[in-house]
């Protein structure tokens, strides 16, 4: 049998390089692993959400196209498409980080990550980065297969980029928090079905909140998801229910809050390290 | 063997608190493991072995005390400490999304080690996983999954290897492959910390042994010293009959096999006389020196020994 090509002193991974370089390489590996995880089941994680959005478009667009004009010169189907895109981005960003973490916790393979030198910041960047990427891939998929259904325009692309990235990062961070908190799949399902789903559906994806009665209009303005979708839609049509700067302030503030919370929970090892 | 310290446990305590109350899993455990040592950590279920290893690995945080690896504190300098540790967990866990090779590449990458294919190939070869490299983890048998766990722990070439009951429920072939490989790594200078319930493995492999009971250190010495320090003789035989009450209380019974500790030749005669008087038929009578299992059972039954005196004894024995 051959001698193993290393010795404890010379071959150990700590023998060369800086902590920062190791940290970046480690975070990069975790990011790639998270991307590979959803990409290996892309039919379920990317194609299926795209199909769901197409069904929404076919049903709501068909029924309401001739009855509703939300913004001047913008048909209902055109109005609906950005909402569907953003809804898909948000839901899939949340689903990616939350499902990955809860699965690893419940099956026990999170131990392979817990014994590594990766910092809490590296965990955050990798999990959120991969979740944002999945959200963007689904969103682009929805846009590509729905854009044929109605005339689309891009008036202010900077808002599209800003709100899609911030919205995805917020939901990815929320998914991370939910994944840390939940100990069972039904707790995760409750978080998704009773918090994320209602806030997404009641955020103006399918309608302009200006068409709501005053009470529900006021309630909608308390929903941060409304600002994500309204700001995102602004990028397409140049119209929005509220100022994009107000939306940016709300969405940016939400991002800072959930990012800080997720980072603090990871730093403490909340429900990770006994 | 080097006299430098690879792992240091310094007055480590851990209390789990819950609605039902507090459970003290570790109670002031202190000992060192020297570089290049093959060290055994023994104790019955619930003694605190896995908790102590979890503290070392950063999976659990100690309530008090310090743990360091090659001088790096596992809390304040966790990144440096964990780079030097390879942990083989007790549970047979795996990530069902990936193949064996992908699993090893990912684990290597977590530690910042890229371009590690040669070492991964070597590990696959040494652990007889070469033909399973591209198989999904779900397709592997339990024994194969256990081999992958070992490969994952070694993939970043840690100088300290921790094996938490690595042979629980695995076949003889894997045990032999594993121990052959780990013993070779130890000869090359790797420090090995092993927990196991297979005491014959610990006796054969470990140069020094610590025993835990109810979270406290009750023995710490060289394996040879533990064995030579065990007083008396073991009288072993097979029988189908019930033992007289006076002997039954002190006997270790495994199926038909009965083992009794006696002090000397006179004790042997007295025990055999008691068996004859009780008309207990005896087969395959054997008189032998106590093994590690006898020492273990005796230590666990003896009650707690002050950790400090055990540590002092070990230091004296090894100096």
- In tens digits, chain A (274 residues) has pLDDT values of 344 444 444 344 444 445 666 678 889 999 999 999 999 999 999 999 999 988 888 888 777 666 666 677 778 888 889 999 999 999 999 999 999 999 999 999 999 999 999 999 999 999 999 999 999 999 999 999 988 888 888 899 999 999 999 999 999 999 999 999 999 999 999 998 899 888 888 888 887 777 788 888 888 889 999 999 999 999 998 988 899 999 999 999 999 999 999 999 999 999 999 8
Examine the domain organization and report whether B224 and B255 are in the same domain: no
Whether residue A107 and residue B118 make contact (CB cut-off 8 A), yes or no, is: no
B149 in a domain, yes or no? yes
A165 in a domain, yes or no? yes
CB atoms within 10 A of CB A225: 25
Average pLDDT value for residue range B275-304: 80
Whether residue A8 and residue B54 make contact (CB cut-off 8 A), yes or no, is: no
The answer to whether B106 contacts chain A (CB < 8 Å) is: yes
CATH code (residue B134): 3.40.50.300
Mean residue pLDDT of chain B comes to 87
Which pLDDT score is estimated for A208? Answer: 78
Examine the domain organization and report whether B151 and B186 are in the same domain: yes
How confident is the model over B201-252, as pLDDT tens digits?
A: 888 899 999 999 989 999 898 988 888 777 778 888 899 888 888 888 878 8
List CB contacts (< 8 A) between B97 and chain A. Answer: 36-37, 40-41
Where helices occur in chain A by DSSP H, the ranges are 8-11, 19-39, 42, 48-56, 62-64, 76-107, 111-114, 120-146, 157-181, 185-191, 197-201, 214-220, 224-237, 244-268
B205 in a domain, yes or no? yes
A9 in a domain, yes or no? no
Which pLDDT score is estimated for B170? Answer: 76
How confident is the model over B306-317, as pLDDT tens digits?
A: 444 444 444 444
DSSP state of B99: B
B312 in a domain, yes or no? no
B34 in a domain, yes or no? yes
Q: Domain span at residue B116?
A: 5-228
Give me the helix-helix angle, A48-56 and A120-146, nearest 10°.
50
Whether residue B112 and residue A273 make contact (CB cut-off 8 A), yes or no, is: no
Whether residue A109 and residue B191 make contact (CB cut-off 8 A), yes or no, is: no
A134 in a domain, yes or no? yes
Which pLDDT score is estimated for B311? Answer: 44
B244 in a domain, yes or no? yes
The pTM of this model reads: 0.85
Examine the domain organization and report whether B214 and B253 are in the same domain: no
Which pLDDT score is estimated for B2? Answer: 64
Say yes or no to pLDDT of B319 above 50.
no
Which pLDDT score is estimated for A12? Answer: 47
List CB contacts (< 8 A) between A6 and chain B. Answer: 119, 157
Closest residue of chain A to B185, computed from CA coordinates: A4
B315 in a domain, yes or no? no
Exposure of B40 by Cβ count < 10 A (0-12 exposed, 13-18 middle, 19+ buried)?
Answer: buried
Domain count, chain B: 2
Which pLDDT score is estimated for A218? Answer: 87
Give me the helix-helix angle, B142-154 and B100-110, nearest 10°.
30
Please state the separation of Cα B74 from the chain's center in Å. 21
Which pLDDT score is estimated for A68? Answer: 66
Q: Domain span at residue A256?
A: 18-268
A260 in a domain, yes or no? yes
Q: Are B90 and B153 in contact (CB under 8 A)?
A: no
Closest residue of chain B to A113, computed from CA coordinates: B110
Distance from CA of A52 to the nearest CA of B (A): 25
List CB contacts (< 8 A) between A23 and chain B. Answer: 79, 112
**pLDDT tier at B5 (50, 70, 90 boundaries)?**
very high
Domain count, chain A: 1
How confident is the model over B151-185, as pLDDT tens digits?
A: 999 999 999 999 998 887 778 888 888 888 899 99
């Amino acid at each position: 049998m051959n001698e193993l090509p290393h010795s404890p002193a010379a071959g150990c991974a700590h023998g060369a390089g800086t902590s920062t370089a190791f940290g970046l390489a480690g975070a990069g590996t975790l990011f790639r692993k998270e991307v590979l995880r959803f990409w290996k089941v892309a039919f379920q994680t990317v194609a299926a959400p795209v199909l769901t959005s197409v069904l929404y478009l076919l049903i709501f667009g068909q029924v309401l196209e001739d009855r509703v004009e939300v913004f001047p010169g913008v048909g209902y189907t055109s109005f609906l498409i950005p909402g569907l895109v953003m809804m898909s981005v948000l839901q899939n960003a949340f689903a990616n980080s939350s499902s990955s973490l809860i699965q690893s916790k419940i099956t026990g393979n999170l131990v392979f990550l817990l014994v590594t030198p990766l910092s809490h910041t590296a965990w955050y960047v990798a999990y959120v980065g991969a979740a944002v990427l999945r959200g963007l891939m689904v969103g682009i998929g929805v846009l590509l297969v729905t854009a044929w259904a109605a005339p689309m325009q891009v008036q202010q692309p900077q808002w599209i980029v800003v709100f899609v990235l911030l919205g995805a990062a917020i939901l990815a961070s929320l998914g991370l928090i939910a994944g840390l908190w939940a100990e069972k799949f039904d707790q995760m399902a409750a978080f998704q079905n009773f918090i994320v789903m209602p806030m997404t559906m009641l955020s103006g994806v399918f309608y302009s909140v200006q068409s709501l009665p005053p009470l529900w209009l006021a309630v909608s303005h308390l929903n941060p998801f409304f600002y994500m979708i309204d700001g995102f839609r602004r990028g397409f049509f140049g119209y929005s229910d509220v100022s994009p700067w107000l939306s940016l302030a709300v969405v940016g503030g939400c991002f800072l809050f959930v990012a800080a919370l997720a980072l603090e929970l990871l730093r403490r090892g909340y429900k990770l390290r006994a | 063997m080097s006299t430098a310290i690879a792992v240091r446990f310094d007055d480590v305590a851990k209390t789990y608190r819950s609605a039902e109350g507090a459970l003290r899993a570790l109670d002031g455990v202190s000992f060192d493991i020297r570089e290049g040592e093959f060290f055994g950590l023994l104790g019955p279920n619930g003694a605190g072995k896995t908790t102590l290893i979890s503290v070392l690995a950063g999976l659990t945080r100690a309530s008090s005390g310090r743990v360091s690896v090659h001088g790096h504190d596992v809390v304040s300098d966790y990144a440096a400490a964990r780079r030097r540790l390879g942990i083989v967990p007790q549970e047979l866990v795996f990530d069902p999304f990936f193949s064996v090779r992908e699993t090893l590449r990912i684990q290597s990458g977590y530690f910042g080690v890229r371009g590690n294919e040669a070492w991964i190939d070597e590990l696959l070869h040494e652990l007889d996983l070469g033909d399973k490299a591209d198989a999904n983890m779900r397709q592997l048998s339990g024994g194969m999954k256990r081999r992958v766990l070992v490969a994952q722990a070694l993939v970043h070439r840690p100088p300290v290897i921790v094996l938490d009951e690595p042979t629980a429920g695995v076949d003889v072939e894997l045990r032999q492959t594993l121990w052959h490989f780990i013993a070779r790594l130890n000869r090359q200078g790797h420090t090995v910390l092993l927990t196991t319930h297979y005491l014959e493995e610990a006796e054969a492999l470990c140069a020094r042994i610590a025993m835990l009971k109810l979270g406290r250190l009750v023995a710490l010495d060289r394996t040879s010293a533990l064995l030579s320090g065990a007083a008396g003789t073991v009288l072993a035989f097979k029988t189908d009959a019930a033992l007289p009450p006076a002997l039954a209380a002190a006997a270790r019974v495994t199926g038909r096999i009965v083992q009794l500790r006696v002090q000397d030749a006179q004790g042997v005669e007295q025990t055999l006389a008691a068996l004859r008087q009780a008309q207990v038929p005896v087969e395959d009578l054997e008189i032998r020196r106590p093994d590690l299992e006898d020492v273990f059972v005796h230590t666990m039954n003896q009650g707690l020994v002050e950790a400090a005196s055990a540590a002092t004894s070990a230091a004296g024995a090894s100096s």
